Amino acid sequence: MNVKVSEITRCNLAVGSRFKKNKPKLAEEMTNLLNVSPVVDVHMERLSDGQTNQKRVSLYIETESVEGTPVMECEWIGNGLEVVHFYITKKRLQLGNNRHLQMRMAFDRKGLVSTEMTLSLYRIIQALPIASDRSEYVKKRISSWESYLRVMERNADVERLEIGIRSARLSLDFRKVTFELHKLPNGFDKFYKKSAVKLVETNQSLGNVVQVQMGRRSIDIELTRDLQEKARTGKWRVPANGKLAFDNVAEMAQINRLKDGFKRLENGWAVNPNLEKLLFEKRPTVRKGKVPEDLAFKQNLNDFQRQAVEGAIAAQDLYVIQGPPGTGKTTVISEICYQHAKMGLKTLVASQSNLAVDNALGKLLTDQDIRILRIGRSESIEEEGQRFVEEQVALYWKQQTLLSIQTHVNQFEKEEKILLSSIKDTEATLEKLKAEIAVLETKKIEKNQAKENLNRLQLEMKSSQSSVQELKRKKDQSDFQFNMSQDIFEDAKSRYERLNDQVARYSGTGEFAKLQAKLNDELQVLQKQLAYLQTSTSLHQKRNAHQETTDQLKKASAQQELLERIAKQMPNVKKIPELQALIGNESWARSSEINGILHQMEQLRRNYQASIKAGNHSEMDETLNKAIKYAEQQLIAHQYNMKMLGKKISMMPNVVGVKLEDRYVKKVIDAFRDYAKQMNAFREPLVQADRQKLSAIYEHMMVLKASRNVGFTRSVAQGNEQIKNEILTSFEQLKEIVGQALVKRQQEIVAEIKSLTPKLSALDEEIESYEKTLSDMHETVPNQETLPPMVELENALTDKKSELEQLGTEESYLEGLVQAASVQQGVLQKREYEMTQIQQSMDELEQKLTMEQSKQTNIHEEVVELEEIIRIDIDALLNEVKSNFEKLSPQLTELKRKETFLNVSNDIRLEWQDMLGQSTTYDMDEIKKLYIQYANVIGVTCSISASKDFVTQYPDFDVVIIDEVSKATPPELLLPMLKGKKIILVGDHHQLPPLVGQDTMDEVLEDMTDAKEKADLKSILKESIFERLFNDLPEDSKATLRIQYRMHEHIMETINPFYQENNYGLECGLVDSNKDRDHLLDGKLFKRGQHIIWYDMPNDQGYLEEREQHSRSYYNAAELKQIRELLLDLNQATAQAKKDGRLDETVKKKVGVISFYGEQVKKVDRLLSQELDLPHLHCRTGTVDKFQGMEMDVIILSFVRNHHQKDGNIGFLKDYRRLNVALSRARELLMIVGSADMFTKKAHGEAQKAMFQHVLKVVDKYEGLKQLETNTGRK
């Protein structure tokens, strides 16, 4: 738990009487200790509960007053703690593990602490885990892991051995020394085959044993990196005599550290309190946070890598990353380290091997926020990590700082020139802006003057426009008067001429009589046309009246038939719906009286239904039933005799009157509810009196229920009968009123029919008369269809009569014409004078108008000029220029400040450069201390992370990243995991399980003789920690990297089936595999452009596997011969590529020769060291298991196994993980040497054959199968 409660917790504390009696001195010592301070810091640990299940705790007290740690063992006694034992440990204990709760407590021995605070403390104790239970849980879970330690301990626990040297030989690559010794004791090859070796005379560490040949009494030692370098430069010679000392002290120290890791987990000392749950629970709960919104990646990551980094950053407990071969997991690790360093967090990067740690650290980007420190033995650390070791960090920091200073100094001159140029340009711009401001200020004054002038001109323009409008109005008026006078003049002239013509025409010519006769004829025609139209209109009106009367008669007859049918059916109607259907919506049947009766009957129907429903149930009855049921349950629960009570109730009389009303029943129920609350819902056992009272309440409620049922049923039945009688009475009344209305309506219809019949006959006679009249008029009135409307004819007739009356006699007519002509002559003379006067006035107005319009033109031209000046937004321009000036001014100040700062900072850098150049040993030591103190990315192997010095200096980390998890045993993984608040595991469960020491798991199992121990180890090897966590964790707590950048895509295809989870395999991240992974070599046995080749060995004699005497390992001489040819061809092809300019002269092609069997590797080593000279190749050998994590340009893979046994045993190759590792080491070219028939046809098990069949299919796809011919040919 490791939780700290900062507030003071008060607690009642008593001292047990037995403790005081039996240990009075300890009790007094405890009392004195508590009296020293009213408040003490304690670590509370919960013990297992006592015999009576009381809670028990141990309180570890932090105090400086005693040497050890005071411990109070207490029991919970209801209102606080009671001390039952007290002691002080001899040594001060380390406190604060996950099982402890750190608190500040004040003890009250008078029992005055409040109940609330006491209950709070009790809940705290109850929530604590029982420490011994948790320790036992962890101990049981990690017991299976002890198998690893037993194997390691059995091989490492040997005595120091000293043996004399007979001769020594250094290998050509300066990596190994072969010693011939005076003797090799029995069992040396078993117990000392991997031991550390020292030269006894000088105590110098030489390295580790890598090979033992008991028959030759010789051993091969792999030299330390330091000695390899010294031997290569001639600064160290191989000792030809003296003694060698062999021991496994280092391995034993590592085993002890692993055991200590078990103990720390068992005792709750993991930094992350959830670690034991994360490790052992089937579905562990992991806490998740949020990814920072402003997260910016330092490197160019693909989507899968980004997902992994984001998930790792968001995780709070644990995150798991699966990194298949070549998918850039080291890049992901470096990005995670960078992001956490930016957050101010300290990260531990750990792995089982030094190589993995140094690869991860070497990829970390250079950044001022990242301070890397590599901890471990310098000789074991790879080149990538050497610069970060404690001895080198100060020098590395100094070199990096000097390089940075020099870079800045070199940039100084360029930056100074740029700054001076910027200052000069800015000053020039400011001067230009000042001039622009002066010009704009002048223009602003001009604009203000222009505004005043514009206002004056606008007033003048307005006045002129008014004058023009007035002149135009007068001119228009004069034009109108002139035109009107001219029209009158022309009209008078026309009248005058026409009158003179008429006088001449009608004087004694007989024309007057003709005119009079014409008017009379026209008058007669109009009279006939008007009479025709009047007669036609009357006829149309009579026909419409006839049709309306006919329709009324038909409707009345139909109504009469309907009423007769209703009257006939009325006596048989028995129900309201039948009556409503019969009379329908007839208006005569919807009188207010009938509607009133219908409404009354509907209300009676509703009352009847409501009465029936009420008779069935009521809300108060339901509440009463619930109360009765609850009371009955409580009586039964308290063993009351319900059978006797039921008989008693059945004999009791019903109640009547007020007691049946709802309000009374409610009062009884409320009283029962209050009694139930008073009795705490009857949770406690009832005494006899309470049981009797409860039964009395139950009796009363049961009687009420029965009485209400009886009384209510009777009253409801009576009410329903009354409602039914009322409904029947109303229905008969309704039928009677409807019948009366029906008779009345029948009488009205008969009267209506009698009145319509004579009216229809009269209309027939009138229509016949109008039709005859129209027929007579048809001949005298032509074109009846085109006659104008009657109104027009009437108006025309009136006008024509008036015209005939006005015509009068011939003499009077002529006299009128002469008088009219005289009047028109006077009008002509008057209008002619008026027109002359108007024309003179118009000429004067035209002249004034022209002058005013000319004035307006001049004003408009001036206004346009002034508006152009005003239109320009001088203020905006001025503000913009001033704003630019104000912006540039501080910029100039800033530039000058930068110039000063640049000069000062450059001087400081030069001074700092000088100081670093002259730094003393003391200075460098201080720099080293500061660097180590503030390092935030620490690299270490898993085993070193548990060393005493490391534990003391680095007790915890914010983040622990463990790389290549699958290569580490659970005990090794546990060591760094104990230190992390957050743990990030990176590995691949599709690659090989860990080595135990230098042996593979398969080799370890072969060596084991104890059947049970062997079975235990096999069981824990079935599923690794990483695989279990990866399968069990939720999706947001794990990620898989699926884009690989190592291999050519042809090579990648061979391992893709191993990563087909969720139908999603690996992708090749190389833009162009053929270009990016071009090996540039053309040989006799392979060609450029080929990237995967299988050199197929026949399954025949001469090509089969072999085994040395007393050896469990295999080798294959035919494959060794093929490997020899391939190495020579690769060396020659590399030389040719250099000659042709495809490769640089200094480049050596990196070639790895790997096999599944150590004996084959030994023979390849002998081949390389004693037979072959390959100056253009850099070769490295190893078993597949030991090559995991490495990569080379070219890999030669020797399968070795090839036999005719029926069981088809292929040994180590049956594990798909081993094949996956073997196939995925090559970057550019993979050369397989082995029998295709053996592995694709004869191997035991379909799954095993399928693995190799897929590889062969890929090889065939890219034409890479090379078959060797035998004397018997190919099958």
Q: Tens of pLDDT along 156-207?
A: 667 788 899 999 998 887 888 999 998 888 888 777 877 889 898 888 888 8
Residue 95 forms part of a structural domain: yes
Domain-embedded: residue 1245:
yes
Is the model's pLDDT at 42 over the cut of 50?
A: yes
**pLDDT tens for residues 515-566?**
767 777 777 777 777 777 877 888 788 888 888 888 888 887 888 887 788 7
Amino acid identity of residue 1034, one-letter, is P
Q: Which residues of 700-732 are buried (b: 16+ CB within 10 A; e: fewer)?
A: bbbbbbbbbeebeeeebeebeeebeebbeebbe
306 and 217 in one domain?
no
Highest mean pLDDT among 385-394, 715-724, 852-861: 852-861
Answer with the residue of higher pLDDT: 1275 or 445: 445
Q: Are 938 and 347 a contacting pair, CB within 8 Å?
A: yes
pLDDT on residue 380: 66
Q: What is the dihedral of CA 462, 466, 472, 474, to 10 degrees?
A: -170
Contact 942, 968 (CB under 8 A): yes
Question: What pLDDT shows up at residue 1272?
Answer: 38
| Rounded Cα gap, residues 862 and 43, in angstroms | 99
488 lies in some domain: no
- Binned at pLDDT 50, 70 and 90, residue 648 comes out as confident
CA dihedral 200, 206, 210, 211 (to 10 degrees): -50
| List of residues 6+ apart from 742 with CB closer than 8 A | 563, 566, 567, 570, 588, 589
When pLDDT is cut at 50, 70 and 90, the band that residue 1181 belongs to is very high
Global pTM? 0.61
- Segment 622-638 mean pLDDT: 83
Of 186, 221, 247, the domain-final residue: 247
Contact of 125 with 54, CB cutoff 8 Å? no
Q: Which two tokens stand for residue 442?
A: 């002048």
Q: Indicate whether 968 and 1085 sit together in one domain.
A: no
Residue of higher predicted confidence among 1259 and 1031? 1259
For residue 1230, is pLDDT > 70?
Answer: yes
Q: Which residue has the higher pLDDT, 1222 or 716?
A: 1222
% the chain with pLDDT above 90: 26
Kindly tell me if the per-residue pLDDT of 142 is higher than 50.
yes
User: Looking at the structure, do residues 1119 and 1249 belong to the same domain, yes or no?
Assistant: yes
Torsion angle defined by CA atoms of residues 882, 884, 888 and 889, in that order, rounded to the nearest 10 degrees: 10
Q: What is the pLDDT of residue 403?
A: 82
On whether both 1069 and 1189 belong to a single domain, the answer is yes
Same-domain status, 73 and 185: no
Residue whose pair of structure tokens reads 């100040």 in the numeric block: 893
In tens, the pLDDT along 1039-1098 reads 999 999 999 999 999 999 999 877 678 999 999 999 999 999 999 999 999 999 999 999
pLDDT at 1077: 96
The CATH number linked to 178 is 2.40.10
Structural Rg of the chain based on CA atoms:
61
- 691 — pLDDT class (breaks 50, 70, 90): confident
- Is 394 a domain residue? no
Question: Tokens 């910029």 identify what position?
Answer: 891
Q: Produce one character per residue of 752-763: b if its CB has 16 or more CB atoms within 10 Å, e if not.
A: beeebeeeeeeb
Q: How confident is the model at residue 335 (pLDDT cuts 50, 70, 90)?
A: very high
Residues 1209, 1101 share a domain:
yes
What is the 3 state secondary structure string of 102-160?
Answer: EEEEEEECCCCCCHHHHHHHHHHHHHCCEHHHHHHHHHHHHHHHHHHHHHHHHHHCCCC
What is the three-class DSSP state of 1181?
strand
Name the pLDDT band for 842 (thresholds 50, 70, 90): confident
Encoded tokens for 529: 């046309």
Same-domain pairing of 1105 and 1212: yes
pLDDT of amino acid 1005: 55
User: Could you tell me the residue range of the domain that residue 1204 belongs to?
Assistant: 1049-1267
Is the alpha carbon torsion for 578, 583, 589, 592 positive or negative? positive
Helices (H) and strands (E) in the chain, counts: 38, 27
Domain with residue 1128: its CATH number is 3.40.50.300
* Statement to judge: residues 281 and 220 lie in one domain: no
The pLDDT of residue 836 is above 50 = yes
Count of structural domains within the chain: 4
CA distance 1006 to 996: 13
Q: Helix or strand or coil: residue 200?
A: coil
pLDDT at 1009 over 70: no
Is 209 part of a structural domain of the chain? Answer: yes
Indicate whether 908 pLDDT > 60. yes
Is residue 92 situated within a structural domain?
yes
- Highest average pLDDT, of 193-202, 257-266, 305-314, comes from 305-314
Say if residue 1187's pLDDT is above 50. Answer: yes
CB 822 within 8 A of CB 559: no
pLDDT band at 1271 (very low <50, low <70, confident <90, very high): very low
Across 501-505, 908-912, 1225-1229, least confident range: 501-505
Assess if residue 951 is contained within a domain.
Answer: yes
How many CA atoms does the CB half-sphere of 995 hold within 13 Å? 15
Dist CA 794 CA 789 (whole Å) = 9
Task: Identify whether residues 969 and 1024 lie together within a single domain.
Answer: yes
Task: Decide which of 198, 226, 247 is a domain's last residue.
Answer: 247
* pLDDT of 501 strictly over 70: yes
Mean pLDDT of 8-25: 92
Residue 473 phi/psi, 5-degree rounding, is -60, -45
Is residue 818 within 8 Å of residue 503, measured between CB atoms?
yes
pLDDT-based confidence at residue 658 (cuts at 50, 70, 90): very low
Of the candidate ranges 62-66, 579-583, 695-699, 896-900, the one whose mean pLDDT is the lowest: 579-583
Q: Do residues 215 and 266 both lie within one domain?
A: no
Q: What percent of the chain has pLDDT over 70?
A: 88
**Consecutive H or E run containing 188:** helix 188-191
Among residues 116, 112, 27, 103, which one has the least CA distance to residue 58? 103
Phi-psi region of 913 (alpha: psi -120 to 50; beta: other; left: phi over 0): alpha
The last residue of one of the domains, among 247, 280, 309, is: 247
Q: Which residues contact 539 (CB under 8 A, 6 or more apart)?
A: 767, 770, 771, 774
**Residue 366 scores a pLDDT above 70:** no
Q: What is the mean pLDDT of the chain?
A: 83
Regarding whether 272 and 309 lie in a shared domain, the answer is yes
| pLDDT over threshold 70, residue 315 | yes
Orientation of helix 688-777 relative to helix 576-583, angle to 10°? 20
pLDDT for 618 equals 64
Instruction: Walk across the sheet containing 1038-1040 and list its strands.
Output: 372-374, 937-941, 347-351, 957-963, 980-987, 318-322, 1038-1040
Quick one: pLDDT at residue 708? Answer: 72
Dihedral of the alpha carbons of 1153, 1157, 1159, 1164, in degrees to the nearest 10? -10
Q: What average pLDDT score do residues 942-962 get? A: 82
Residues 89-132: tens digit of each pLDDT: 988 888 888 888 999 999 998 889 898 999 999 999 998 998 88
**655 pLDDT higher than 70:** no
Averaged over 396-424, what is the pLDDT?
81
- Is 243 domain-assigned? yes
pLDDT at 1270 over 50: no
Per-residue model confidence (pLDDT) at position 1238: 94
1241 and 1099 belong to one structural domain: yes
CB distance 482 to 838 below 8 Å: yes
What value does the mean pLDDT take over residues 264-274? 86
With tokens 């040949």, the residue in question is: 213
pLDDT, average across residues 798-802? 73
Q: How confident is the model at residue 699 (pLDDT cuts 50, 70, 90)?
A: confident
How many CB atoms are located within 10 Å of the residue 524 CB?
10
Distance CA 807, CA 519 (A): 10
User: Which of 177-181, 402-406, 430-434, 734-738 shows the lowest mean pLDDT across its residues?
Assistant: 734-738
Beta-bridge partner residues of 1106: 1115
